Amino acid sequence: MGSVPNSKPKLVHGSLGYVLEDVPHLTDYMPELPTYSNPLQDNPAYSVVKQYFVNIDDSVPEKIIAHKDSPRGVHFRRAGPRQRVYFESDEVLAAIVTCGGLCPGLNTVIRELVCGLNNMYGVKTVLGINGGYKGFYAQNTITLTPKNVNDIHKRGGTILGSSRGGHDTTKIVDSIQDRGINQVYIIGGDGTQRGAAKIFEEIRKRCLKVAVVGIPKTIDNDIPVIDKSFGFDTAVEEAQRAINAAHVEAESIENGIGVVKLMGRYSGFIAMFATLASRDVDCCLIPESPFYLEGPGGLYEFVEKRLKENGHVVLVIAEGAGQELFSGSLQTMDASGNKLLQDVGLWISQKLKDYFAKQTTLHINLKYIDPTYMIRAVPSNASDNVYCTLLAQSAVHGAMAGYTGYTSGLVNGRQTYIPFYRIGEGPNKVVITDRMWARLLSSTNQPSFLIDKSATEDKKEEVPLDQLNNLLGRVRHILKHTNVDNDAISEVGNIGSPGKLGVFVLDNGGNVGHLGDISNSRSSA
């Protein structure tokens, strides 16, 4: 067959501002494909379900809050079984691959994909690709059956193995074509989903009858559009165990400080939700909310005050928080293209020790707990197991119905099919101007660490004109090496560190970014 150009977003417009961001279908480039009756109509397990098949026009709104005169807005195609399918049961050769870091629920998704294909659609041949994307062209496969995946949901990790990187689109699609695979289920984070989009485009160019389906995976809960990612509930539950241990340690000794570092490279959802659930945390630090150590309103002052009041402090910090405070950041990347981070947990623990070592009346006992890999290596809990089942079965229904180039995800409590390009829009982050972050601040009574505007006004007159010009030049230099628009600058002001100016950015989503501290002393000009 001939090739076709890259696909474009499929947008369907309706009345009153309705927009459906549709997902690709095999018939977009293979219009003559035959259809078959869905075997579920003869499945006794589903005979009691009324209107089991999803209406072809059903969709789910991206935003559920609306006003009387507001447009209906963007919608996604509702997931679920269709009356007509584009694959016969004995025609299907499916493949499943897991990529990236571990996450609770991976084995559950694998199990439910295999059992869903077999039990609902009679598919007998399912291959597990061993070791991530590179397993496609390394010829590493495992035959998966309902019997040999029956109890894998009780185990952490992934029975297929995983890896970062190793994505060679041409080699992967060559392997898919050579083996006769016609359904590919790809479980991974935003980087993995971007790789899945490339695989879909190459398959589309070759006009192959292959459905490419993504299932979003990130323990940090930072994938956009979807309500949450599988494994997140388990991660929060396990994180509480570490927080509880830190609380016991801190409470059991004079001037005890418990520091817990949790996962969250760019997004602080685990730290925020674990803190809210625990109610034993005095301060929670996340990447979205810059903080500072010294001066009025700084972390040192808060910890000292809380120690004098309660005799102990529990501090939770996400791994991506405070990276801008390091004198030199790491420039190296992992195989997935993620920037390697400094260990902020060890760093802040040492900073607290150094600060209180100078105190003559307040001697601390600090315990540091890093449960990172313990949290992600456990089996999924009950709620995540149910969620994994819904994600996997929805993915299978979509592939059998001929949809391709999509991610199976939960939007406003409903299973949907989301185009790949929406998943790659950038990480979902905690909005610190939202009520959830306000609930956390209310729970911990910690400072917000936002700029004191009155102090900023006082400091402005102290900076000579030549220093301000130098500062603005350096700000432009910082912006040149970031993805921040010049117009996004919200405030440049003193943040409590003597002799330094902090550059902060507030974007339209309410996210605050600390671009760095710039010295305003005459000697540094």
pLDDT confidence of residue 43: 85
Query: Residues annotated in the binding site for ATP, as ranges?
Result: 101, 164-165, 189-192
Which residues are the active-site residues?
220
Query: Residues annotated in the binding site for substrate, as ranges?
Result: 218-220, 263-265, 319, 373-376
CB 158 within 8 A of CB 129: no
Distance CA 29, CA 411 (A): 28
Tens digit of each residue's pLDDT (9 = 90 or more) over 230-285: 999 999 999 999 999 999 999 999 999 999 999 999 999 999 999 999 999 999 99
CA distances from 448 to 127, 228, 473 (A): 50, 25, 29
CB 134 within 8 A of CB 99: no
Residue owning tokens 């070791």: 131
Q: Do domains 10-229+380-423 and 232-376 have the same CATH topology?
A: yes
pLDDT confidence of residue 218: 92
- State which residues of the chain have pLDDT below 70: 1-7, 327-339, 451-525
The CATH architecture assigned to 10-229+380-423 reads 3-Layer(aba) Sandwich (3.40)
pLDDT confidence of residue 474: 52
Give the containing element (helix H, strand E) for 243: helix 232-251
Distance CA 101, CA 372 (A): 12
Distance CA 100, CA 253 (A): 40
Tens digit of each residue's pLDDT (9 = 90 or more) over 50-95: 778 999 899 999 999 888 888 999 999 999 999 999 999 999 999 9
CA 139 remoteness from chain centre: 30
pLDDT confidence of residue 524: 37
Which token pair is 331?
């420039």
Domain residue spans in the chain?
A: 10-229+380-423, 232-376, 453-524
Distance CA 194, CA 65 (A): 29
Return the SS3 of 333.
Answer: strand
CA distances from 221 to 227, 255, 266, 269, 505 (A): 9, 34, 10, 7, 23
> Rounded to two decimals, what is the model's pTM?
0.82
Query: Residues annotated in the binding site for Mg(2+), as ranges?
Result: 190
SS3 content of the chain, % helix, strand, coil (to 5): 35, 20, 45
Which token pair is 204?
């589309």
Please, how many CA atoms are within 13 Å of residue 22, restricted to the half-sphere of its CB?
16
Return the SS3 of 445.
Answer: coil
Strand-pair partners of 417: 77, 408
pLDDT confidence of residue 333: 58
Strand-pair partners of 213: 185, 406
Please, how many CA atoms are within 13 Å of residue 309, restricted to the half-sphere of its CB?
9
Tens digit of each residue's pLDDT (9 = 90 or more) over 289-326: 999 999 999 999 999 999 999 999 999 999 999 988 87
Evaluate whether the domain defined by 232-376 bears CATH number 3.30.70.100.
Answer: no
Q: What's the CA angle centered on 132, arms 176 and 182, to 5 degrees? A: 25
Query: Residues annotated in the binding site, as ranges?
Result: 101, 164-165, 189-192, 218-220, 263-265, 319, 373-376
